[in-house]
Amino acid sequence: MKVSEDVWKFYQQHLGYSDKEMRRFRENPRNEDVISKAPALLNKTIVLEVVDSHGCNSQHKVGDKFYFDGAGNILTKLCPKRICFGALHSMPTLIYAAQELFYAGVDPNEMRFKRIGCVDVGVNCGGWGHIVMELRVEERKRE
C-alpha cells in the first residue's frame, strides 16, 4: 500500500527527523510497509494477563492485566498501580512478536508460544517469586 506524502511528513515531524534522516528512513521498504499497516494495529490493544503467580513481591495475582497500545506503549491508567520491573522486563519479547506477526498478516492470537515469565526464578530456585503472563491482542475499546 502506498503511503501519502502527508503521512510521511507526519512521521518526519513525529520522529524529529531531519530531511536527510527522512530520506534514509524512506529508502528502507520495510518502513513503508509498517507505516501502511500501522493504523490497523493502532486499533488493537495488546494484553498480557497473569495466569500463574506465587510469591510475587509486587503482589501480582492471577487475573492482573497489563495493557499496551498497538505501538507497544504501556497504558498506565489501565494497569495495576505497581508494576514489577521483572515482569515488565519480560514483556517486550512477546509484544514485538505480536507486532511482527500482525505486520506479516498473521493473527497474533495464533502465536504458538504466547506465555512468558518474569525474571525472578521463584523461591525453589533461589529467588522470591515468579509470575507467568499470557499475551492476547484485542480490538481497542472505544470510550
The whole-angstrom separation of Cα 34 and Cα 20 is 20
- Rounded Cα gap, residues 93 and 43, in angstroms: 21
User: Residue-wise pLDDT tens for the chain (143 aa)?
Assistant: 689 999 999 999 999 999 999 999 999 999 999 999 988 998 999 999 999 999 999 999 999 999 999 999 999 999 999 999 999 999 999 999 999 999 999 999 999 999 999 999 999 999 999 999 999 999 987 65
Mean pLDDT of the chain: 94
Cα 25–chain centre separation: 22
Q: What is the DSSP string of 27-39?
A: HSHHHHHHHHHHH
Given this model, what pLDDT does residue 141 score?
79
In tens, the pLDDT along 24-43 reads 999 999 999 999 998 899 89
Domain positions in the chain are 5-40, 44-139
